[in-house]
Amino acid sequence: MPDWVTGGLVPSRSQLPDVLPSDRLTASAMPVREIRGELRRIPTVRNTITVIGVWVSVAVTIGGAVWLDHPLGYVAAFFLMGRNFAAMAILGHEASHRLLFHGKRLNDWIGAWLSYYPMFTAYDIYRRSHAAHHRREFGDGEPDMNFYSGFPVGWASMRRKFGRDIFGVTGYRNLATMVQAFGSERGRPIATRIVVAQLALVAIFTAFGRPELYLLLYLAPWLTVWKVLNRLRAIAEHGGMHESDDRRETTHHVRQTLLPRFWVAPLNTGWHLAHHVDSGVPFRNLPKLHKELEAAGYVTPELVWPNYRSLWRAMANGRTS
């Protein structure tokens, strides 16, 4: 394992007051039993509407571009598909925590076939690796250390990282890994399911007489726009933090506003510190949990980044106050 450098953006001890346990939070900041049950309730009907809504958004984005039949419409759809992939990814993430639907089989089927397989992602593998991420952020089993380590990295490094995303290099490497999986007896069934999902999408585009749009408005934005948005969100969650029992030293919190919530951190994923405090809380209730953290004094105003721009700038320049 490489000698990862971590901790370059960890908040100072003065920003981490020792206020727990409290009457509503345990020593680890998780809600006490009396309020935990309400926060962990899964809203099945609302989640069903959300899953349908994400796929309606995909259809409207691409269908709207076809209906307008104007170059600017296709350009807008290209970028908006990146945001749709971001929402699909959060649905898959929610399913990996078994928080999308009560029934395990339905939850996993939706997470796989309507979220991750359409995004060239192996749902079962992701679910296992993501569990390791939550067991110990930055620990020996951390699957995403290459995303989070080394910050602040400098502007030249940031340009290289995002250049690989913008020009499809990162996405191409992901696809190459999937192709290589066909050579493995263990990986072949998973890769086959991903290909089946993609062929189903190709069939839908073909049925509407526009198979080329699968390449132009589905695969191409997945290779580029989505990879940029994914990196922006990932480094804003854990970039520059380090291994600790205190989640305030492993996970950032950024003040949530409408534009980044639409593009970068949809479906409440921007309340990521709350998610790591209690990963059993569904995404709809993360703002409520965060308010509990603030009310207890666990999260102070000094700890919160005012916006994503300031955090990303610190990733390249060093922390700014």
- Decide if 1 is inside a domain: no
- Decide if 6 is inside a domain: no
Instruction: State the burial class of residue 66 (Cβ atoms within 10 Å of its Cβ: 0-12, 13-18, 19+).
Output: middle
Query: What 8-state DSSP symbol labels residue 319?
Result: -
- Decide if 234 is inside a domain: yes
Return the pLDDT at 2: 61
Query: What are the distances in angstroms from CA 142 to CA 269, 271, 276, 289?
Result: 19, 20, 14, 25
Return the pLDDT at 321: 42
- Decide if 306 is inside a domain: yes
Q: Which residues, in sequence order, are bridge partners of residue 31?
A: 25
Rg over alpha carbons for the chain, rounded to the nearest Å, is: 20
**Domain range for residue 208?**
13-317
- Decide if 286 is inside a domain: yes
Return the pLDDT at 318: 67
pTM, full prediction: 0.95
- Decide if 212 is inside a domain: yes
Number of folded domains in the chain? 1
Return the pLDDT at 317: 86
C-beta of residue 233 within 8 angstroms of C-beta of residue 265? yes
C-beta of residue 211 within 8 angstroms of C-beta of residue 204? no
pLDDT in tens, the chain (321 residues): 466 889 999 999 989 999 999 999 999 999 999 999 999 999 999 999 999 999 999 999 999 999 999 999 999 999 999 999 999 999 999 999 999 999 999 999 999 999 999 999 999 999 999 999 999 999 988 999 999 999 999 999 999 999 999 999 999 999 999 999 998 888 999 999 999 999 999 999 999 999 999 999 999 999 999 999 999 999 999 999 999 999 999 999 999 999 999 999 999 999 999 999 999 999 999 999 999 999 999 999 999 999 999 999 999 986 544
Instruction: State the burial class of residue 29 (Cβ atoms within 10 Å of its Cβ: 0-12, 13-18, 19+).
Output: buried
Return the pLDDT at 19: 97
- Decide if 3 is inside a domain: no
- Decide if 2 is inside a domain: no
**What phi and psi, each to the nearest 5 degrees, are found at residue 120?**
60, 30
3-state DSSP helix/strand/coil percent for the chain, to nearest 5?
Answer: 65, 0, 35
Q: Which of 145, 121, 301 is nearest to 235 (CA)?
A: 145
